[in-house]
Amino acid sequence: MSVRGSLRRHRFIGTAVALSAAVALAATLSACAGDGPPKKAYTVPASLCGITVDPALVKAVLPGGDSLTTATEKPNGGTVRCNLSVDGKQALSLAQAWWGERDSAAGVAQAYAHTDDGTLSEDERFVYTGRAGVGQTVSSCEVAEHPEQDLYTVVETRDTGVDDPEAIQKLLTAYTKAVEGSPACR
């Protein structure tokens, strides 16, 4: 091979390597841009199904999306559920449920998904994981319709990829306190 042919070959290889590197860099940059969490373009209202909760605490356990809707559900005489959907897919449920007077947060948590092996708070009123939690309201939370029962709160994410024990614990505690101060406890 001549010197000229060898130089052309090296230039071609050099150009091909530079082009490959540019393509790899562009692919890496575009992959990095898509790796961030999806944007949460919706606004969380301060009152969810009649209970006032800090919107930032709620948003922390919701997935990204464009729109948020809420719906109240009363599946039986002692449960009220506030279901939140993001872009039409159910993402979070905040519930109030009356249970027997001798039940505990740990016992009630066994009836709900994603609370297995949850962390029990020091005062034993809260059990939570990265996806769900159960809270027991204060003993003064009593209503005539549910004699000899205690009111529990439940926070459950719905297959959204959220797994954040600290965020669930903060929302569960705030939601339980908000329920305690609401007509549900009077």
User: Which token pair is 24?
Assistant: 């790899």
The verdict on pTM exceeding 0.85 is no
pLDDT tens digit sequence for 12-50: 445 444 444 444 434 444 444 456 678 999 999 999 999
**Residue 33: how many other CB atoms lie within 10 Å:** 8
Among residues 115, 112, 134, the alpha carbon closest in space to that of 125 is found at 134
pLDDT tens digit sequence for 34-90: 566 789 999 999 999 999 999 999 999 999 999 999 999 999 888 999 999 999 999
In percent, the amount of the chain with pLDDT more than 90 equals 70
